Amino acid sequence: MTQTQKILVTGATGTVGRQVVAELLARGHSVRALTRDAAKADFPAGVEVVQGDLTEPDTLMPALDGVTGLHLITFGGPYFAPLETGPRILQLARAAGVRRVTVLHGGGPSLLEDAVRADDGVEWTVLMPVEFMANALEWADGIVTSDEVREPFVARLSAMVHEGDIGAVAAVALTEEGHGGQEYVITGPELLTVADKVATIAAVRGREIALVELTEEQAVERWRAAGHPDDVIGFLLEAYGNTPEVGRTVVDTVEKITGRSARTFGQWAAEHVEAFKSPSAGATP
Ligand SMILES: NC(=O)c1ccc[n+]([C@@H]2O[C@H](COP(=O)([O-])OP(=O)(O)OC[C@H]3O[C@@H](n4cnc5c(N)ncnc54)[C@H](OP(=O)(O)O)[C@@H]3O)[C@@H](O)[C@H]2O)c1
């Protein structure tokens, strides 16, 4: 067990940040969690909640006081708008004596990520997870209301990763020696098609789910109706229709860094099974 350290987690109310918080706590560290609205945030006992906004870096000064490690996101608004304030955030972190920084890579160019990589005053680690297993929660409504998943590109392969494993890699990189200057691609332990994922959820909840393949045009129409801007739709089309090799290649980062096997989609589905069950209907064969 390493010595207890105090870590500031940004994006702490989010899918990944929540897991970074949990994994740090599980390792006995002290966690300060950043949110723009402390009144709405719901953290585990023992977490120190601080209010601040990454788009206004000077609001972070009290949050940075006394921390040895900092977990950063690269966005600061709707549709993951890239932060313009990265260099100032890094400047403040260094001045506060932060020693280690992890960054959750966002997929596109990032001033914040550039500033972190260029900073030889901190031990930085860039976390590059592939598709999150939590994305499957987007199917919950269709599964609960009509036992159906409607998706384009159903044969695409994904090495999707459990968010808890991203949190675990982050927690190790933030608190242990030897991860400075590293970029870690983080995947799950298996390659799955959309059909595999749907079958896994169906098996775990004990009720069949129909998979309906959407055409590309139908998918675009659905994303437009959901209010996604054109650049986001373009990103989704590329990510789903032409998944880059890194997104469909299993690597052993989780095991190497944490000493534990990467969690499977079956484990993830079992943990989230209630989200896929109708509150009124029991499971039927
Ligand atoms: N989904 C995927 O498959 C996937 C795969 C690889 C990488 N990624 C990347 O992962 C990132 C998304 O992470 P996530 O899913 O964990 O995020 P998320 O669940 O959408 O959570 C967003 C978090 O960002 C915080 N936040 C937003 N604007 C902020 C600001 N101005 N100041 C301070 N905090 C702010 C929110 O905090 P409050 O609202 O509490 O203030 C919240 O904690 C993106 O960069 C995405 O590109 C996603």
| Domains located in the chain, CATH noted | 6-129 (3.40.50.720), 131-160+188-248+262-279 (3.40.50.720)
Three-state DSSP state, 151: strand
CB-ligand 1 contact for 243 (6 Å cutoff): no
Report the C-alpha gap between 7 and 131 in whole angstroms: 26
Report the C-alpha gap between 241 and 172 in whole angstroms: 34
pLDDT at 285: 38
Beta-strand relationship, 30-35 and 148-152:
unpaired
Q: Are 159 and 13 in contact (CB under 8 A)?
A: no
Q: Are 170 and 105 in contact (CB under 8 A)?
A: no
CB-ligand 1 contact for 163 (6 Å cutoff): no
Q: How far is the CA of 106 from the centre of ligand 1 (A)?
A: 9
CB-ligand 1 contact for 132 (6 Å cutoff): yes
Q: Are 65 and 43 in contact (CB under 8 A)?
A: no
CB-ligand 1 contact for 55 (6 Å cutoff): yes
What is the 8-class DSSP label of residue 50? E
**Shortest CA distance to 122 belongs to which of 136, 112, 108?**
112
pLDDT at 108: 87
Phi, psi of 169 (to 5 degrees): -65, -40
Residue to mutate (ligand 1; options 8, 9, 15; most atoms within 8 A of CB) = 15
Instruction: Please list, in sequence order, all residues whose beta carbon lies within 8 angstroms of the beta carbon of residue 139, skipping any fewer than 6 positions away.
Output: 149, 151, 198, 201, 276
pLDDT tens per residue, range 202-226: 999 999 999 999 999 999 999 999 9
What type of residue sits at position 181?
A: G
Three-state DSSP state, 266: helix
pLDDT above 70: residue 280: no
CB-ligand 1 contact for 73 (6 Å cutoff): yes
pLDDT at 103: 98
Residues in the chain: 285
Query: In the structure, what pLDDT confidence band is assigned to residue 1 with cuts at 50, 70 and 90?
Result: low
Q: Are 7 and 31 in contact (CB under 8 A)?
A: yes
Rg (CA), the chain: 20
pLDDT above 60: residue 181: yes
Alpha helices in the chain (DSSP H): 15-26, 61-64, 86-95, 111-117, 140-146, 163-175, 194-205, 216-225, 230-241, 253-258, 265-271
Question: Quick one: tokens of 168?
Answer: 């675990």
pLDDT above 80: residue 2: no
Q: How far is the CA of 72 from the centre of ligand 1 (A)?
A: 10
* Mean pLDDT (whole number) for 3-9: 96
pLDDT tens per residue, range 21-37: 999 999 999 999 999 99
- Sheet of strand 123-129: strand arrangement: 48-51, 30-35, 6-9, 69-72, 100-104, 123-129, 182-186
Q: How far is the CA of 81 from the centre of ligand 1 (A)?
A: 10
